[in-house]
Amino acid sequence: MAISAHADSLASFLPEIEPADLAPGADAFGPVRDDVPVAPVLKGGETIAWAFLTSDFVGTTGYSGKPIHVVAAIDDDAVLTGVKLVKHSEPIVLIGIPNSRMVELTEGYTGLDLKHEAATGGEGHDLDIISGATVTIMVIDDSLVRGGIKVSRALGLGGLSPLQAEGPKREVDMAQDATHDWTTLSGDGSIRRLTLDVGQVNAAFEATGDQRAIERPERGEPDDTFIDMHVALASVPSIGKSLLGEAEYQNLTKWLDEGEQAILVLGRGAYSFKGSGYVRGGIFDRIQLIQGDSSVRFFDKQQRRLGRVAASDAPSFTELDIFKIPADAEFDPTEPFRLQLLVQRAVGAVEKTFLTFDLGYKLPEQYLLPIAAPAVVDDATGEAAAKAALWQRIWKDRTVEIGVLGVMLLVLTATFFFQFHATMNARVFYWFRIGYLTMTLFFIGWYANAQLSVVNLMALAGSLRTGFSWDAFLLDPLVFIQWFAVAAALLFWGRGAYCGWLCPFGALQELTNKIARALKVPQWTLPWGLNERLWPAKYMIFLVLFGISFVSIPLAEKYAEIEPFKTAIILKFMRDWPFVVFALLLLGIGLFIERFYCRYLCPLGGALAIPARIRMFDWLRRYKDCGTPCQTCANECPVQAIHPTGEINPNECVTCLHCQVLYQSEDKCPVIIRQLKRRAKTGSVSPKTPLGQPPANHPNAKPQTVS
């Protein structure tokens, strides 16, 4: 296919790269090929490697929803000779992680053997993860490994052949049972032969350079037969009946279980393919069957002797044995295999040296059923499967973290559903909340780096405009699960489920404020009028960022640095000093005004508050007296979300449940205090109505509403 020099093509990136950076000693690049988008890396006019752009071969995108462009070079042995990170849109790398660290990690893939990766399914190397950039690193790794293997297969590098479109599985034609003579079977390839003479074996040992083996040559003349070994697939009806005879073939079929196959091995000459080791150990250690990446060793229970070859004009043999191939070996009789012969030579009293010789075998075409027309395979299907395998691998690797987050979400859900019971004991609930926020900060934030951000929402909006795909969002399981939990919580409780309990930076603000209070740091309460006028700021910030994202998502991501989340949570303050100063400034103000950033500046909080208006339930209990005249809850609300008239503003409430603690307080709630006094006067010991739940006809009863 023709490759045009568009902005993100290999041709556009090569002028920015020194050839020697991709292959030692290289001095130039050749033109990009038309059939495969690769360019030769030249040294003195000779091609020593091939350069390719990962995004030309692999469609994996980062958390930004865009590819991470890496140019790499691969030599004829399918080994990466150089790697360069040339372009990306990952916000965590653009602003958070030092570019030098990313360059160092990417260039560390130099020397990766793609033959080994192809054999191990891409898991033959260790993955170096940078804290806070897990998804980005996984995408770079996946792109280099899968892209490199595709290039190797397309160019035939390192012996890797192109993957063929998978068609119908070939099958042996079991209806064919005509018998043939030895000459016919040998001529059409039904019987394959390996012949070695003494001279060939001695020469092979001499080539090893092992002087001890050379000094012990095989006896006899060079032309004497060392071994003459024949192999046939005896479980194929026509071959089996021809070589074994009708009766012996029927015995063979009874001996074989479903899925099992059998080979006939015949031998003569000075060397035995069986040896005598199987008598002692039960294993035939001189032969093994190899097909693809699988090998089969035969044991004495898998072997039967044959008295004679039934085919006419067959030569005589000294060894005639049938070996059973077990079903769990997943042997495919329609595919090529080889029988490997181990030739051993004693070089000491008990020490031996070894050589191997292969006898290849492929079942002739006439024994197979006709080939059906192969189905057309869409390359997009394979790409989708690879993307799915990547996120599934990530989810599997983070099973423990996912489990812990799941438990935290269940605990929080139960707390909200049974909030009246959870808040009965003020002291117990206080320490429960402190413990939960600590877990949120240390586990979700600093350990798992699963802080949600307004950047996530902008990436989602961009994905919806350009073609939505789940793959990019599934790459970070804890973030993905939290977003689903937040979406559900918005219907039930509004934004407070996340902002008040699951946001690591929110937890950091509240915990540091608790410490400040313990140290007697004075707390500032803004006048109600000023508080109301500062609320809209976070909504305006969100709308500005969202508008910029329609023009340029990378630009919007840069301005989204008004969120101190990357600095304080993802990078743990290990960042350039202006970002650290900004985050510390916000936390410093929060020592005097609790959750200052959450209340007035957080664009994520503003974004969540907008859809939270559709919540279906009002859970927070209120009395008729709340606000008129009682102002206890309004005065003690940590984020000033309760109007002087008593209504709770759900857009600003972080659902800390402090008002529900006060709702049942025997020391602070006037309604409860009056109930206690009334019961004390009447001498009531077992009241019919628990404290905090006045009967419907009680003068203090008020609809259970928060707005």
Answering whether pTM is above 0.75, one says no
Q: With 80 as the cut, is the pLDDT of residue 666 above it?
A: yes
- pLDDT interval class at 476 (50, 70, 90): confident
Report the SS3 class of residue 377: coil
At residue 172, what are phi and psi to the nearest 5 degrees?
-75, 135
Question: Which of 379-388, 441-450, 689-698 bottoms out in mean pLDDT, i.e. has the lowest?
Answer: 689-698
Q: Read off φ and ψ for residue 559, nearest 5 degrees.
A: -70, -20
pLDDT of 512 reads 95
The winner for highest mean pLDDT among 4-18, 373-387, 413-427, 553-567 is 413-427
Q: Residues 70, 545: contact at Cβ < 8 Å? A: no
Residue 56, pLDDT score? 86
- pLDDT of residue 514 exceeding 90, the answer is yes
684 — pLDDT class (breaks 50, 70, 90): low
Q: How far is CA 622 from the centre of its chain?
A: 48
Per-residue pLDDT band at 46 (split at 50, 70, 90): confident
Structure tokens at 435: 């413990």
pLDDT for 696 equals 39
| Predicted local distance difference test score (pLDDT) of residue 693 | 52
pLDDT at 507: 94
* Percentage, residues of the chain above pLDDT 90: 35
Q: Place 191 in a pLDDT band, splitting at 50, 70 and 90.
A: very high
Average per-residue pLDDT in the chain?
83
What band does 376 get if pLDDT is binned at 50, 70 and 90?
Answer: very low
- Distance between CA atoms of 454 and 493, rounded to whole angstroms? 20
> Is pLDDT of 330 > 50?
yes
Angle at 431 between CA 426 and CA 435, to 5 degrees: 145
pLDDT category of residue 102 using cuts at 50, 70 and 90: confident
Least confident of 74-78, 452-456, 476-480, 681-685: 681-685
Is the pLDDT assigned to residue 352 strictly greater than 60?
yes
- Per-residue pLDDT at 373 exceeds 60: no
Residue 704: is its pLDDT beyond 50?
no
pLDDT at 682 over 50: yes
Q: What is the pLDDT of residue 91?
A: 52
Closest CA to 310 of 191, 186, 181: 181
pLDDT of residue 407 exceeding 50: yes
Average pLDDT of the segment spanning 280-290: 82
Strands (E), 269-335: 283-291, 294-299, 303-305, 319-325
Is the pLDDT confidence value at 700 over 60? no
Separation CA 188–CA 233 (nearest Å): 13
Model confidence band, residue 309 (pLDDT cutoffs 50, 70, 90): very high
Least confident interval from 25-29, 435-439, 666-670: 666-670
- Mean pLDDT on 657-671: 88
* 3-class secondary-structure state, position 484: helix
What is the average pLDDT across 451-462? 81
pLDDT at 162: 67
Q: Identify the burial level of 520 via C-beta atoms within 10 angstroms of its C-beta, where 0-12 means exposed, 13-18 middle and 19 or more buried.
A: exposed
Cβ-Cβ contacts under 8 Å for 25 (sequence gap 6 or more): 43, 48
Q: Which of the four pLDDT bands, split at 50, 70 and 90, describes residue 234?
A: very high
State the pLDDT confidence band at 61, using cuts at 50, 70 and 90: low
Mean pLDDT over residues 596-624, rounded?
Answer: 85
pLDDT in tens, 530-560: 988 999 999 999 999 988 888 877 788 788 8
Helices (H) and strands (E) in the chain, counts: 32, 14
Are the CB atoms for 279 and 287 separated by under 8 Å?
no
